[in-house]
Amino acid sequence: MTSTISRLALAAFALSASILSAQPAFAAVACGSGSFDAWLADFKTDAAAKGISQQAITAGLAGVTLDQSVLNRDKSQKVFTQTFEEFSGRMVPPRMQRGSNMMKQYGSVLSRIEQAYGVPGEVLVAIWGLETDFGVNTGKFATIRSLATLAYDCRRAEQFRAELMDALRIVQRGDLAPAEMKGAWAGELGQTQFMPSSWLKYAVDFDGNGKRDLLHNAPDVLASTANYLAGYGWQKGKDWQPGSPNFAVLQQWNKSEVYSKTVAYFATQLARAP
Q: Are residues 149 and 269 in the same domain?
A: no
What is the pLDDT at residue 140? 96
User: What pTM did the predictor assign?
Assistant: 0.87
What is the pLDDT at residue 30? 74
Residue at which a domain ends, from 158, 189, 220: 189
What is the pLDDT at residue 79? 65
Query: pLDDT tens, 91-144?
Result: 999 999 999 999 999 999 999 999 999 999 999 999 999 999 999 999 999 999
Q: Are residues 50 and 172 in the same domain?
A: yes
pLDDT, mean of residues 151-180: 95
Q: Are residues 203 and 253 in the same domain?
A: yes
Query: pLDDT tens, 52-105?
Result: 999 999 999 999 999 999 999 998 877 678 999 999 999 999 999 999 999 999
Return the percentage of the chain with pLDDT > 70, whole number.
Answer: 89
Residue among 85, 114, 122, 131 flagged as catalytic: 131
Task: Verify whether residue 131 is a known catalytic residue.
Answer: yes
Q: What CATH code is carried by the domain that includes residue 131? A: 1.10.530.10
Q: Are residues 143 and 229 in the same domain?
A: no
Q: Are residues 249 and 113 in the same domain?
A: yes
pLDDT at 18 over 50: no
Cβ atoms of 132 and 10 closer than 8 Å: no
pLDDT, mean of residues 36-56: 96
User: DSSP characters for the chain?
Assistant: --SSS-HHHHTTT--TTTTT-SPP---SSPTT-S-HHHHHHHHHHHHHHTT--HHHHHHHHTT----HHHHHHHHT-------HHHHHHHHSHHHHHHHHHHHHHTHHHHHHHHHHH---HHHHHHHHHHHHTTTT----EEHHHHHHHHHHSSSSHHHHHHHHHHHHHHHHHTS--GGG-EE-TTS-BTTTTB-HHHHHHH---TT-SS---TTT-HHHHHHHHHHHHHHTT--TT---STTSHHHHHHHHH---HHHHHHHHHHHHHHHH--
Q: Is 267 part of a structural domain of the chain?
A: yes
Q: Is 210 part of a structural domain of the chain?
A: yes
Where in the sequence is the domain holding 173, given as residue range(s)? 35-65+139-189
Q: What CATH code is carried by the domain that includes residue 60? A: 1.10.8.350
Number of folded domains that form the chain? 2
Mean pLDDT of all residues belonging to the chain: 90
Residue at which a domain ends, from 189, 220, 249: 189
pLDDT, mean of residues 20-31: 49
